[in-house]
């Protein structure tokens, strides 16, 4: 077995035992990237020319990783997959990356993504689309498609992405890895380039639950630089071999029962419910009428409004892309934003501008904030009746690259299963259930706020039954 094929916990134990060196791990991962990247295009920037110095005392000493290109890296180009940021090199590190680095992690590159995290295919990038490593004609999901694809193809044992409305969970499902969206506030957002500030959350991808637990133990915790990060909340991600779900109540959503699912996903739901029941869980049902009816509209009203505000700063003056032959400030501003932003980002900025105009703000944006409160309250009541909710990540298997360009609304509607989790600030785990042909199939488990460690324990039980995903062939094996 090649070193790049080992999971994170195997690498950490092997390095500590002296079975191999950090340099050998680095070289194995670099060679894997060299072999597959021409087919997958998971990276925007590579940083693997030579083995860098790293902290040798931390949990992740010598472990290669990749992070999404909307996480700031001091002195290293950070683009958010947009032309408008040009060759911008941040003067500081994102807290999540700083904590990985302090723990000894070695950065191999910055992952491709949908521009400013706006999309669900990883095709809305100024640097071109990322391909699904299991079938390079298909999308890897988005917006964190590059991060998920890199783990699936064996570039690194784990990576970081961000999730505003499903952008970790959906690509994890499509690429066949585990992806975890923590409770809002569990991981600092400092240094994450904002899309929707009240929705964005950083989280990890890996090939085992145990690996997710290791990463979460490093990146979670209060950060004085982020006023939304938690204080005094439980976050013990210690691996628990004796975890059990016996007696736990696991629900399906009543309103989702009649929705159409692709056959492999519907089959995975049946098999998972049977496994949970055999493990002693109590299968039940919860009703989420507000979520099922209003979550998609509510999410996009809020997300686009926040995007409009967050992206105002890109004006061609302070950072990134600019034009030098403009005849005045007005023309420069217009050209910078017209030339620098992609079509999807422009569409969301325009929608957000309309939604927050004084004549419309009360009717749309303010109304959406009230609906969001109702959604959070509805989930709170549901978790008084159940411990976890099991549901699909998406209703369909990954489509062909370019297909969604013909029907953008279909992509928005497919987000119903993921968006509500962000609106309520809940944790969500996308877990692997097997393959349909060569394509992986994932589902998600949702829990109450601050139940992050318990969800990962439950995921570990499912992993015992379904097994860990294999490394995809990356179009070359």
Q: Which residues are catalytic?
A: 68, 143, 167
Using alpha carbons only, give the angle 178, 195, 417 rounded to the nearest 5 degrees. 45
Q: Which residues of the chain have pLDDT under 50?
A: none
Residue 464: its pLDDT value, please? 96
Residue 351 resides in a domain? no
Residue 242: its pLDDT value, please? 87
Residue 337 resides in a domain? no
Q: Cα(123)–Cα(130) distance, rounded to whole angstroms?
A: 7
Residue 405: its pLDDT value, please? 55
Residue 1: exposure state from Cβ atoms within 10 A (0-12, 13-18, ≥19): exposed
Query: In 232-385, which residue ranges form alpha helices assigned H by DSSP?
Result: 263-278, 289-310, 329-340, 343-355, 367-385
Give the total number of structural domains in the chain. 1
Residue 401 resides in a domain? no
Domain of residue 194: give its range. 3-245+426-466
CB atoms within 10 A of CB 149: 37
**E strand or H helix at 430:** strand 428-436
Which CATH number belongs to the domain containing residue 210 in this structure?
Answer: 3.90.1300.10
Contacts of 186 (CB under 8 A, 6+ apart): 201, 216, 220, 229, 230, 233, 235, 427, 450, 452
Per the CB < 8 A criterion, the answer to whether 277 and 314 are in contact is no
Residue 76 resides in a domain? yes
Residue 352 resides in a domain? no
Residue 450 resides in a domain? yes
Residue 276 resides in a domain? no
- Per DSSP (E only), the strands in 158-223 are 158-162, 178-181, 202-206
CB atoms within 10 A of CB 317: 12
Residue 406 resides in a domain? no
Which residues sit opposite 159 in a β-bridge?
66, 205
Contacts of 454 (CB under 8 A, 6+ apart): 387, 447
Per the CB < 8 A criterion, the answer to whether 214 and 8 are in contact is yes
Return contacts of 332-339, CB within 8 angstroms, 24+ apart: 336/84, 337/84, 339/83
Q: Which two tokens stand for residue 210?
A: 């145990």
pTM (predicted TM-score): 0.96
Residue 406: its pLDDT value, please? 55
Q: Cα(429)–Cα(389) distance, rounded to whole angstroms?
A: 11
């Amino acid at each position: 077995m090649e070193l790049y094929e080992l999971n994170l916990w195997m690498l950490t134990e092997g390095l500590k035992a002296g079975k191999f060196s950090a340099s050998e791990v680095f070289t194995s991962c670099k060679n894997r990237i060299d072999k597959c990247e021409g087919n997958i295009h998971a990276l925007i920037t590579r940083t693997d020319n030579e083995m860098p110095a790293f902290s040798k005392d931390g949990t992740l000493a010598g472990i290669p990783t990749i992070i999404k290109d909307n996480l700031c890296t001091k002195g290293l180009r950070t683009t958010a997959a947009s032309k408008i940021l040009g060759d911008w090199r941040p003067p500081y590190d994102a807290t999540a990356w700083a904590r990985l680095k302090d723990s000894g992690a070695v950065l191999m590159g910055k992952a491709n993504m949908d521009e400013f995290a706006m999309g669900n295919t990883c095709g809305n990038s100024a640097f071109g689309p990322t391909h699904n490593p299991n079938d390079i004609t298909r999308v890897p999901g988005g917006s964190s498609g590059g991060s998920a694809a890199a783990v699936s193809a064996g570039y690194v044992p784990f990576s970081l992405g961000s999730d505003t409305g499903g952008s970790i969970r959906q690509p994890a499902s499509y690429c066949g890895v585990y992806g975890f969206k923590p409770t809002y506030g569990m991981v600092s957002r400092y240094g994450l380039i904002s899309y929707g500030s009240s929705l964005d959350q950083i989280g990890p991808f890996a090939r085992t639950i145990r690996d997710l637990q290791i990463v979460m133990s490093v990146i979670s915790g209060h950060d004085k630089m982020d006023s939304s990060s938690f204080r005094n909340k439980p976050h013990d991600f210690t691996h628990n071999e004796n975890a059990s779900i016996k007696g736990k109540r696991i629900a399906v959503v009543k309103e989702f029962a009649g929705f159409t699912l692709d056959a492999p996903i519907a089959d995975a739901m049946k098999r998972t419910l049977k496994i949970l029941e055999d493990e002693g869980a109590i299968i039940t049902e919860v009703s989420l009428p507000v979520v099922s009816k209003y979550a998609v509209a509510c999410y996009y009203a809020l997300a686009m409004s926040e995007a409009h505000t967050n992206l105002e700063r890109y004006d061609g003056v302070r950072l990134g892309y600019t034009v030098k032959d403009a005849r005045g400030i007005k023309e420069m501003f217009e050209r910078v934003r017209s030339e620098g932003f992609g079509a999807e980002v422009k569409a969301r900025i325009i929608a957000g501008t309309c939604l927050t105009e004084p004549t419309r703000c009360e009717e749309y944006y303010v109304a959406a904030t009230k609906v969001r409160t109702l959604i959070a309250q509805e989930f709170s009541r549901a978790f008084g009746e159940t411990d976890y909710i099991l549901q699909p990540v998406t209703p369909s298997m990954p489509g062909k690259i370019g297909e969604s360009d013909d029907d953008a609304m279909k992509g928005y509607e497919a987000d119903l299963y993921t968006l509500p989790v962000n609106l309520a600030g809940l944790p969500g785990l996308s877990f692997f259930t097997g393959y349909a042909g060569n394509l992986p199939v994932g589902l998600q488990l949702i829990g109450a706020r601050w139940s992050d460690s318990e969800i990962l324990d439950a995921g570990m039980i499912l992993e015992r039954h379904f097994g860990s995903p294999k490394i995809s062939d990356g179009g070359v094996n």
